[in-house]
């Protein structure tokens, strides 16, 4: 594969959409010191501006309580309070890290809920609609005024408010149907705008790029305020109906929970009988199968869907508030460089197409307890960092993207569309070239050579390279070689992080007749950052 960078290559300002935000787990985690420490590291080294997490209104955040929660005795229910202090402490930690919260308004406080259906995660959370929309609107307005008082009106106007999370996954994240969500959105958005019309609010926060067309039409036809569109996309997903190309628009589209959670459990129980090992992680991996290694999953689903969503959004900013290679929690490949190459390829393609205003990789840390807070340092979590903060290949992928110049050179639309792809950038320090060899399966194949030629008026002072490959930026391999230690102290964590860190080294080159020639031997899912100065 050959790539040529002419001296007069056209360019455009780089849209660093991946720095808009990053995902996180559950709001209660944001009260932890290790969470705050890792979040600051992500901001300081990757330049990410916001963080989004679920469940600010879950009952473990104690936003709406009465005295029956303390003592269930007759008459206790008349002593009631609304308390947003835990949310305030969480947002204080976010701001102290140099970031802003991307406010996901979820889920429903029990005291305001119309039913008792729960989120099917470790931390729970009511997923029904309000029993009284007037009470819900008052609750939302009180929350907004709390934020204004704590942080100032001008600061809150710089935040984004998103209504709910993946309401299209009926029975998992939302107990209602599409019309129920639209009603919830309308009441919530109007309540926010009644406090301050300058605050930005949007939705529908769906999985698989769904509901955007019907959502924007509903808002337009019913004069419901909406400032931006949000949706999600993963390539390999364990839930049915979320890998389509922009649809379906059916409000009751089937997913893994459509037949009820008990039915879902029955479907996966057989996997436990075939599981190897005896730890909780062994059981998790037996029932949450990594489809990306078993099926031929396309790598262009997000790029195609984003183009469609942009059209459906009707000119509104489009934020992909969750995206990644794999939404299968505990998948072994989440800790490998397969995720790194996917993030680089898709981030660059989306940037080239200019379809996404901002995006949010899911998620920044394995401090994440939707199913279980696993003790194993490498357990296939979604994070850029392990539970103890060791950078994974996906972290280094975003660091490479952070380190390139603000001017992207145009090499042609097909430069990033093949298995081996390239992108070039320019800064005051010179030219940078990102190379990747991306495949949706971690196949053991021979290395392939990419040749890069760059027209330069004189020989470069230096050519340096950083690699994500089998021996660089690969802490999983070192952890396995160390015997997969279950318990690691701070010294051991820091040592593993240092040994697996991506180093910078000289890259051999040839220069003649005004042309610099470089060669890169790429293994499957390797990523290289070449710096020419």
- Integer CA distances (angstroms), 453 to 435, 445, 513, in order: 13, 25, 12
Whether 246 is in a domain gets the answer yes
Active-site positions?
166, 322
Structural domain ending residue among the three candidates 357, 375, 403: 403
What confidence tier does 238 reach under pLDDT thresholds 50, 70, 90?
Answer: very low
Does residue 188 sit in the same domain as residue 155?
yes
pLDDT of residue 262: 63
Cβ atoms 425, 414 nearer than 8 A: no
Least-confidence region, from 12-16, 232-236, 308-312:
232-236
Does residue 79 sit in the same domain as residue 188?
yes
pLDDT of residue 261: 57
Cβ atoms 404, 515 nearer than 8 A: no
Whether 516 is in a domain gets the answer yes
Does residue 360 sit in the same domain as residue 500?
no
pLDDT of residue 263: 62
CA distance 343 to 494: 25
The dihedral formed by the CA atoms of 64, 69, 72 and 78, expressed in degrees to the nearest 10:
-30
Does residue 134 sit in the same domain as residue 43?
yes
> Does the structure show a pLDDT above 60 at 237?
no
- Integer CA distances (angstroms), 246 to 324, 346, 524, in order: 17, 17, 29
Whether 235 is in a domain gets the answer yes
Of the two residues 161 and 268, the one the predictor is more confident about is 161
pLDDT of residue 73: 84
Mean pLDDT confidence for 487-502 = 97
Angle of helix 85-96 relative to helix 133-151, nearest 10 degrees? 40
> How open is the CA angle 335-50-299, to the nearest 5 degrees?
45
Does residue 98 sit in the same domain as residue 208?
yes
Whether 279 is in a domain gets the answer no
Whether 518 is in a domain gets the answer yes
> Does the structure show a pLDDT above 70 at 33?
yes
Say which CATH number the domain at 213 has: 3.20.20.80
- Integer CA distances (angstroms), 177 to 213, 252, 253, 311, 315, in order: 16, 7, 10, 24, 26
Domain, as residue range, for 452: 2-9+407-532
Question: Among residues of the chain, what percentage have pLDDT more than 70?
Answer: 93
Structural domain ending residue among the three candidates 378, 403, 428: 403
CA distance 102 to 68: 33
Does residue 376 sit in the same domain as residue 441?
no
Q: Is 56 exposed, middle or buried (0-12, 13-18, 19+ CB in 10 A)?
A: buried
In terms of pTM, does the model score above 0.85? yes
Does residue 236 sit in the same domain as residue 362?
yes
Mean pLDDT confidence for 144-149 = 98
DSSP 240: T
pLDDT of residue 242: 34
Mean pLDDT confidence for 277-304 = 84
Whether 294 is in a domain gets the answer no
What confidence tier does 260 reach under pLDDT thresholds 50, 70, 90?
Answer: low
Structural domain ending residue among the three candidates 369, 403, 437: 403
Cβ density class 341-371: b for 16+ within 10 Å, e for less: bbbbbbbbbbbbeebbbbbbbbbbbbbbeee
CA distance 525 to 228: 34
SS (H, E, C) 252-264: CCCCCCCCCHHHH
Does residue 528 sit in the same domain as residue 423?
yes
What confidence tier does 284 reach under pLDDT thresholds 50, 70, 90?
Answer: confident
Q: What's the pLDDT tens digit per position in 86-138? A: 999 999 999 999 999 999 999 999 999 999 999 988 788 999 999 999 999 99
Mean pLDDT confidence for 271-275 = 70
Instruction: Give the chain's largest Cα–Cα span.
Output: 90
Question: Among residues of the chain, what percentage have pLDDT more than 90?
Answer: 78
Mean pLDDT confidence for 269-291 = 77
Does residue 242 sit in the same domain as residue 319?
yes
Whether 183 is in a domain gets the answer yes
pLDDT of residue 251: 41
Does residue 322 sit in the same domain as residue 446?
no
pLDDT of residue 239: 46
DSSP 392: P
> Does the structure show a pLDDT above 50 at 305?
yes
CA distance 338 to 391: 15
Q: What's the pLDDT tens digit per position in 34-66? A: 999 999 999 999 999 999 999 999 999 999 888
Mean pLDDT confidence for 264-285 = 74
Q: What's the pLDDT tens digit per position in 161-195? A: 999 999 999 988 999 999 999 999 999 999 999 99
Mean pLDDT confidence for 495-511 = 98
pLDDT of residue 243: 37
Chain position carrying tokens 């078993």: 294
Does residue 365 sit in the same domain as residue 464?
no
* Domain total in the chain: 2
- Integer CA distances (angstroms), 442 to 37, 172, 227, 420, in order: 32, 30, 40, 15
Least-confidence region, from 290-294, 313-317, 343-347:
290-294
Say which CATH number the domain at 514 has: 2.60.40.1500
Does residue 411 sit in the same domain as residue 394?
no
Whether 291 is in a domain gets the answer no
């Amino acid at each position: 594969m050959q790539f040529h960078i002419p001296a007069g290559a056209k360019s455009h300002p780089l849209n660093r959409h991946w720095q808009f935000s990053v995902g996180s787990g559950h709001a209660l985690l944001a009260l932890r010191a290790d969470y705050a420490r890792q979040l600051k590291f992500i901001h300081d080294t990757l330049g990410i501006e916001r963080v989004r997490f679920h469940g600010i209104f879950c009952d473990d955040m104690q936003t709406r309580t009465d005295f029956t929660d303390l003592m269930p005795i007759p008459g206790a229910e008349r002593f009631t309070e609304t308390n947003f202090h835990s949310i305030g402490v969480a947002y204080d930690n976010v701001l102290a890290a140099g970031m802003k919260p991307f406010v996901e308004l979820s889920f429903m406080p029990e005291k305001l809920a119309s039913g008792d259906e729960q989120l099917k995660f470790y931390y729970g959370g009511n997923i029904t609609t309000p029993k009284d929309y007037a009470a819900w609107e008052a609750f939302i307005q009180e929350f907004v005024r709390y934020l204004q008082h704590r942080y100032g009106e001008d600061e809150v106007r710089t935040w984004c408010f998103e209504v709910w999370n993946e309401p299209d996954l009926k029975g998992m994240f939302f107990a209602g149907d599409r019309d129920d969500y639209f009603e919830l959105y309308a009441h919530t958005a109007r309540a926010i705008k009644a406090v301050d019309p300058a605050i930005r609010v949007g939705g529908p926060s769906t999985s698989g790029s769904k509901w955007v067309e019907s959502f924007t039409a509903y808002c337009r036809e019913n004069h419901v305020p909406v400032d931006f569109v949000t949706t999600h996309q993963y390539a390999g997903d364990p839930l049915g109906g979320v890998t389509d190309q922009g649809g379906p628009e059916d409000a009751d589209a089937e997913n893994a929970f459509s037949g009820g959670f008990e039915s879902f459990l029955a479907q996966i129980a057989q996997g436990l009988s075939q599981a190897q090992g005896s730890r909780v992680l062994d059981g998790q991996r037996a029932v949450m199968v990594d489809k990306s290694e078993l099926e031929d999953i396309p790598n262009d689903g997000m790029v195609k869907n984003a183009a469609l969503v942009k059209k459906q959004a009707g000119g509104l900013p489009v934020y992909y508030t969750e995206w990644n290679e794999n939404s299968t929690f505990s998948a072994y490949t989440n800790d490998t460089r397969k995720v790194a190459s996917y993030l680089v390829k898709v981030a660059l393609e989306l940037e080239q197409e200019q379809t996404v205003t901002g995006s949010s990789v899911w998620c920044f840390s394995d401090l994440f307890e939707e199913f279980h807070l696993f003790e194993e340092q490498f357990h296939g979590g979604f994070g850029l960092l392990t539970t103890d903060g060791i950078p994974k290949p996906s972290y280094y992928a975003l660091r490479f993207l952070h380190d390139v110049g603000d001017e992207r050179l145009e090499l042609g639309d097909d430069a990033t569309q093949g298995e081996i792809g390239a992108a070039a950038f320019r800064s005051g320090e010179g030219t940078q070239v990102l190379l990747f060899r991306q495949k949706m399966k971690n196949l053991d194949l021979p290395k392939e050579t990419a040749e890069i030629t760059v027209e330069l008026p004189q020989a470069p002072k230096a050519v340096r390279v950083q690699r994500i490959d089998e021996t660089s930026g690969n802490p999983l391999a070192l952890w396995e070689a160390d015997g997969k230690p279950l318990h690691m102290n701070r010294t051991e964590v820091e040592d593993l992080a240092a040994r697996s860190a991506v180093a910078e080294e000289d890259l051999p080159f040839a220069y003649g007749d005004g042309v610099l020639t470089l060669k890169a031997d790429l293994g499957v899912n390797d990523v290289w950052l070449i710096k020419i100065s």
